Chain A
Amino acid sequence: MDIIIEGIKQAFILLFTFDPEVLGITWLSLEVSGTATLISLMIGVSVGTAIALTRFPGKRFVISLINTGMGLPPVVVGLFVTIFLWRNGPLGFLEILYTPTAIIIAQAVIATPIVMGISLAAIQNLPANLRLQILALGATRLQMVWILVKEARLPLLAAIMAGFGGVISEVGASIMVGGNIKGYTRVLTTATVMETSKGNFDIAMALSIILLLLAFAINAALTQIQQRERPR
């Protein structure tokens, strides 16, 4: 119990004294996970919508792949991305291993199936004739897709939160592809693991609390938007 209390004390101290290293780590976590979520949003929503609206052979198989992808273990993703980005790997020439970009890529790979799967389900859940109704109002294909996405905005916001939640809290991939380099690729989760392994439980606890606060703040904001969208 005292560890938790110690941790809360430490958290406040670190935050209110604007400890630069902690602020840097926090900001980096936000940037990296935020960017990854943004990428997963763009790919996930567009592809998910396309799949939901298109008929093609093997559709069910593809959907089950996506659903499986939603549960991809981050560590596995980290391993695969590392192998690709290694110097001697196929994408080694890009030289982005152990950079924040690598973490963004790994996290985007983790988050995209989540956003895609939920978007797909959200669009499929709209009334079957809604698509026709929109076209009957004179919409172009593009307008139709835009209106459908707007109609599904409640579950889509949930998808964003799920995607963000999944990556802000993951550590396996971040450590592997980022390397936890001080001031460069060290994020809240990897720093927590490091401090724990060093035995600095109070600092680890403080970082965990900051992570929780961050996740809560973002989700509270998104929930506000989601629930505000519900007309009276």
Chain B
Amino acid sequence: MTDGNPILEVRNLQVNRGGVSVLNIPHLDVFEGKVLSLIGPNGAGKSTLLLALSRLLKSFRGDIFFKGRKISSNHSILSYRRNISMVFQEPLLFDTTVFENVASGLKIRGMKKDETKSAVEEYLERFGIHHLVNRSARKLSGGEAQRTSLARAFAIKPEIIFLDEPFSSLDPPTRESLIEDLDRILRETGTTAIMATHDQMEALRLSDQIAVMNLGEIAQIGPPEQIMNYPEDEFVASFVGMETIFAGRVTKTHEGSFVVSISGRDIEALGIVTTGDTVVCFIRPENVVLSKHPSEEMSSARNVFPGTIVRITSMGLFHKVQLDCGFPLFAYVTHQSLENLSLDEGGDVFASFKATAVHVIRKEKK
């Protein structure tokens, strides 16, 4: 699977504010049709990077190349901006109807009223807000407003779409449905997307690449599994290394359950997949049970693996235990259990989890 050509290339990007360096990116490539997520703590520079990449930020040093051409003069900046779109955490809708809002990007480009109609309606449909076409923007719920904002951004058919924590102010069910729709539309349209988020699940769900940022720099960038399972330094590790995530090939399927193979280990899981698919899976640490010997209780769990304790970290009320079972596995244990099992770093344990504990995040067809 080859990556296309980079649609966006960044070289030596530096942003200073009040004498302090807030962004320092020596090198970054974004590939066409792919989704890049930026994650990191507050103040890491995610929003700044988005603003710089979208050329909404004016003062920075360094170069940005769009499709191989440097964006520098006023003219090229404007024409670049007309090829991209941005969605913010707040919907930032205009005080008019949903239709007018979605059409605004097109009107800015000089499209006449009747021409905008079909483009607007297409995206109203895609985002499921067609029934709101004449509603005033003031009378929309949070989810409806953000859908409108997204429809507005997509209606102009951007080559790249930038998203700055677009779902953070939404409640979980709304967020869920929007993420699904966005995922689908991104794949259907093949739009390149760069998204900043502090929700790792979102990042895992949507991204082809994740960049972990800290203090204005990219600490690590790579596919989700790589970031999650092979953090390169302390910071990334402590930021992401909480859950088990792996990618493997489906070797067997049987009526709603399947076996995924990773590093020679077979893991049973539930889900509708096809043999030969590559799936990215995720196991919540609290669903992993540890014991010194494989016991009766464990027999009901389908997945039992021996492993070595790599590290034990105290998380306050519980401990996080990182295991190596041939694949990385994380478990939470209470202080009590830690004592009872006399777990030590370097020691051996058995880890078990039910098939239901394995969640499929994504599947890729062969």
Contact = CB atoms under 8 A, between A and B. Distances in A.
Q: A contacts B directly in the complex (CB < 8 Å)?
A: yes
A127 interface: yes
Given A143-B108, A232-B136, A135 B81 contact: yes
- Chain A interface size range: 10 to 19
A153 B54 CA distance: 29
B51 A137 contact: no
Main secondary structure of the interface of B (DSSP, over half): mixed
A140 interface: yes
Contacts of A147: 94, 104
A151 B90 contact: no
Contacts of A151: 94-95
B85 interface: yes
A132 interface: yes
A129 B92 contact: yes
B97 interface: yes
Interface centre among B86, B92, B109, B136 (most CB of A within 10 A): B92
B58 to A, nearest CB: 10
B323 interface: no
Nearest to A132: B56
B108 A138 contact: yes
A139 B136 CA distance: 22
Contacts of B56: 132, 135-136
A127 B145 CA distance: 15
Contacts of B86: 132-133, 136
A214 to B, nearest CB: 31
A140 B75 CA distance: 10
A133 B136 contact: no
A130 B96 contact: no
Nearest to A140: B78
A125 to B, nearest CB: 13
A11 B95 CA distance: 43
Contacts of B92: 127, 129-130, 133
B194 interface: no
A151 B108 CA distance: 15
B138 interface: yes
A58 interface: no
Interface of A: 127, 129-130, 132-133, 135-140, 143, 147, 150-151, 153, 231-232
Interface of B: 51, 54, 56, 78, 81-82, 84-86, 88, 90, 92, 94-97, 104-105, 108-109, 136-139, 152-153, 156, 162
Ranked nearest first, the 6 interchain pairs of A and B with the lowest CB-CB distance are: A231-B136, A136-B86, A138-B82, A133-B92, A137-B105, A139-B108
